[in-house]
Structure 1
Amino acid sequence: MSLPLKGQVAAITGAASGIGLASAEAMLAAGARVALIDRDEAALNKLHVQYGDAVIPLVIDLLDPKSCATLLPRVLEQAGQLDILHANAGLYVGGDLVDSETDAIDRMMNLNVNVVMKNVHDVLPHMIERGTGDIMVTSSLAAHYPTPWEPVYASSKWAINCFVQTVRRQVFKHGIRVGSVSPGPVISALLSDWPEEKLREAKESGSLMETSEVADAVMYMLTRPRNVTIRDMIIMPSNFDL
């Protein structure tokens, strides 16, 4: 059995569900030890029981600056190194801007943009010292098209795509790869505010993807030879363009 990530340690934010969980399960299957970062302590404990010591459950509130800053120290305390950061945690605000609550905008922008920047900032010195590392960011198809039905969410992903592409150019000389995966609509908690009828129609028409399909893309990017960087992979349901 091939274990392309054997001996590596990964940290995934928003790992208790959705794309983060699917990514974690894929990395575990590939031989990595995975630190699962989330606020949902019960879900993390359940995954720890399921996967044993291959999982490091870390209850961290990423929106709390002091808690957020503990990510790398706690990973190093338990695993001694960090090879992969998958900055995946995110929130969704859709609909007309005029109907959006400003508190929700602040919360989403903080998690989708500021927290990603802080997490990457914090792990870079460790990766630079080791001369290797992979940083993956969950972006969105919305980062590549000005989607009029979600201006707040799309703007956060446009911002983070710029961050990914600029940081990548700064750190490649240190042996660090930085890339993003940009999925179209995925069956996950981010769509929890979709009306049931809209969700059902999207599923029936083949316009939604499974989280495991996003995880497959992440794994493809991580397992390329070290001299190859896939800076961004856009994946979407085949019927989404119809």
Structure 2
Amino acid sequence: MARQLDGKVAVVTGAASGIGLASTEALLASGARVVMVDRDEAAMAALRGRHGDAVMPLRINLLDPKDCATLVPRALELAGQIDILHANAGAYVGGDLVDNDNDAIDRMLNLNVNVVMKNVHDVLPHMIARRTGDIIVTSSLAAHFPTPWEPVYASSKWAINCFVQTVRRQVFKHGIRVGSISPGPVITALLADWPPEKLQEARESGSLLEAGEVAEVVTFMLTRPRGMTIRDVVMMPTHFDL
């Protein structure tokens, strides 16, 4: 892979597993240094062991408001600059709304919506001052279709899809690109919360994506000429039908 991101620093949240880990590895392969934001210190240390100083682990509990507020200043202390924010951390609540737990709903909405907004809010002054930057948010196919088996999760992604499109219009004048990646079902730990019959159906029909495939598209978005913004990419497994 061409090292098109040499000299860049990326911050990836939820970086120790799934799409976040795949994104981290793709960014490293493209020449970027990556601040990995997660709570799984062992997983981050393992990647640093393979890639050395290009990996900068940063243990943060994003659901703790005080801890979350330290993300940008601590990342800048580690890396000196932030060129890319991949706001990827998220949670999943599926099934019938009547069966959902209120605490789980609060946690998911905080992580999928509030934390993303706060992370983007906190990094913008740095990017505005430098007149450049890229922000990519991990959204979902659920942001584009009222998925009946996951109303809470889908609602969080609809909200963040609106956030991406409106913030993009506010900040492009500063040289900052904002976009989202909206994959269909990806083979990650989040699928463990899918309704068993839906998961079985997807496995049998080949209707799942690999995290690495999503990461390839993230890299594609980041390596377009500065005059081009990929606002949103919807990725669907060929055999997945809503």
TM range (shorter): over 0.9
TM-score by length of 2: 0.97
- Once residues 199 and 213 of structure 1 are traced to their aligned partners in structure 2, the CA distance between those partners, rounded to angstroms, is 19
Distance in 2 separating the partners of 1:174 and 1:97? 41
Q: How far apart are the structure 1 equivalents of 2:103 and 2:197? A: 28
Q: Distance in 2 between matches of 1:199 and 1:27?
A: 30
Gap change, CA 1:197 and 1:159, over 3 Å in 2:
closer
In structure 2, the gaps of 5 or more residues are none
Gap runs ≥5 in structure 1:
none
Match in the other structure for 1:11: 11
Question: How big is the shift at 1:198?
Answer: 4.8
* Correspondence for 1:119: 119
**Residue equivalent to 1:224:** 224
Partner of 1:83: 83
What amino acid maps onto 1:202 in structure 2?
A
Alpha carbons of structure 1 residues 206 and 17: separation in structure 2 relative to 1, 3 Å: same
Match in the other structure for 1:61: 61
Q: Secondary structure at the match of 1:192?
A: helix
Give the deviation of 1:161 after TM superposition. 0.4
- After TM superposition, the structure 1 = structure 2 runs for residues 18-37 of structure 1, keeping only pairs within 5 Å, are 18-37=18-37
Q: Deviations over 1:110-140 (max 9, x none)?
A: 0000000000000000000000000000000
- Mean Cα deviation higher: 106-115 or 49-58: 49-58
Quote the RMSD (CA, aligned, Å): 1.2
Shift of 1:195: 5.8
Distance in structure 1 (CA, Å) of the matches to 2:215 and 2:86: 11
Residue by residue over 1:143-177, the C-alpha shift from the partner in whole angstroms, topping out at 9 and shown as x without a partner, is: 00111110000000000000000000000000000
% identical equivalent positions: 76
The corresponding residue for 1:143 is: 143
> Which residue in the other structure is 1:206 paired with?
206
Equivalent residue number for residue 161 of structure 1? 161
Cα deviation for residue 193 of structure 1 reads 2.1
Do 2:93 and 2:193's aligned partners in 1 also have CA atoms closer than 8 Å? no
Shift of 1:42: 1.2
* TM-score, with length taken from structure 1: 0.97
Aligned length: 242
Separation (CA, whole Å) in 1 of partners of 2:11 and 2:58? 10
Q: CA deviation at 1:199?
A: 3.4
Aligned pairs for 1:161-200 within 5 A: 161-194=161-194, 198-200=198-200
Match of 1:179, SS? strand
Equivalent AA in structure 2 for residue 125 of structure 1: P
Residue 132 of structure 1 is matched in structure 2 by: 132
User: Does the 8 Å CA contact 2:95/2:195 hold for their aligned counterparts?
Assistant: no
Letter of the 1:199 partner, please give it.
Answer: L
Q: Report Cα offsets for 1:52-86 as digits up to 9, x if no partner.
A: 10000000000001110111111111110000000
In structure 2, distance between residues paired with 1:109 and 1:201: 27
The structural deviation recorded for 1:2 is 2.1
Distance (whole Å) between structure 1 residues aligned to residue 42 and residue 227 of structure 2 = 40
The aligned counterpart of 1:38 is 38
Inter-partner Cα distance in structure 2 for 1:98 and 1:201: 24
Structure-2 separation of matches of 1:146 and 1:194: 16
1:205 to partner: Cα distance: 1.3
Q: CA deviation at 1:194?
A: 3.3
